Structure 1
């Protein structure tokens, strides 16, 4: 694990405000360990290794996973006909945007914030963006296409709550 830290795959962020707890998250291709200033990574290497291994086991956030998932969802909901030219994680989406599609190029960008959500939520966002490859604006026809994922309404509620939690934690 220390080699992974040296390679930049794991970033340790120390905070004077954090007193006792640690947290692990994923930002694009980097794991982030948020820890109190006095927390010793070296002394806790075994527990941290277990923590990072558990996070990696449930991770669906690699670029290859995203491409594979888009292909799977295109096949499942659109008979394979809606395929993006590219799909990738980005860090520049604002708090009210989960993803975007450029219909003229077929490029889809997914907010890195979605790396923390359950797979079924990510699936609904990708299906929504795939639907934009056929219909750009949010018309009745568009929603009929995007709503092919059976948990679309449930995911909207999840993302509304997730977004509210993000705003709350940022003090907005």
Structure 2
């Protein structure tokens, strides 16, 4: 793990506001470890390694993973006919947006904040954006297509809680 920090794969961000806890998130190709100012990474290497191992077990964070997932969701729910021109992770989505589709170009952008969610949650977001390739507004017809993924309503609840958790962890 210390080598990963040295290679820039893990960025340590120390905060005077953070008193006891550590947090790990993924931002595109870099893990971010948020710690209190006086936290010793070296002293806590074993528990941090366990934390990173748990996170990476749920990781589906490369752009290639997104392309593969979009292809799979298109085949499974739309007979392969809804395919984006491109799909990739981005860091510029605001806190209330999980993904976006540019219907004129067929490009889909997914917030890096979703890199560590369970796969079924990411699937529902991708299905939602694939539908936008065909239907722009959130109409009844749109929701009928998006709801082909059986966990669409579960994912909505998950993402509401996830968003609340992000809001809470920012201290707002």
Q: Same fold (TM over 0.5)?
A: yes
How many equivalent residue pairs?
172
In structure 2, do the counterparts of structure 1 residues 82 and 95 end up closer, same or farther at CA, with 3 Å as the change threshold?
same
Give 1:11's aligned residue.
11
Please list the CA deviations of residues 141-164 of structure 1 after superposition, one character each: whole Å capped at 9, or x if unmatched. Answer: 111111110111121122222223
SS class of match (1:80) = coil
Give 2:105's aligned residue.
105
Give 2:85's aligned residue.
85
**Structure 1 unaligned blocks of 5 or more:** none
Give 1:165's aligned residue.
165
In structure 2, do the counterparts of structure 1 residues 21 and 160 end up closer, same or farther at CA, with 3 Å as the change threshold?
closer
Give 1:144's aligned residue.
144
- CA drift at 1:63: 1.6
SS class of match (1:42) = coil
* Cα distance in 1, alignment partners of residues 163 and 23 from structure 2: 19
Give 2:64's aligned residue.
64
- CA drift at 1:46: 3.2
- The normalised TM-score by structure 1 is 0.91
* Cα distance in 2, alignment partners of residues 163 and 110 from structure 1: 15
**Structure 2 unaligned blocks of 5 or more:** none
Give 1:132's aligned residue.
132
Give 1:26's aligned residue.
26
For the Cα contact (< 8 Å) 2:55–2:116, is it kept in 1? Answer: no
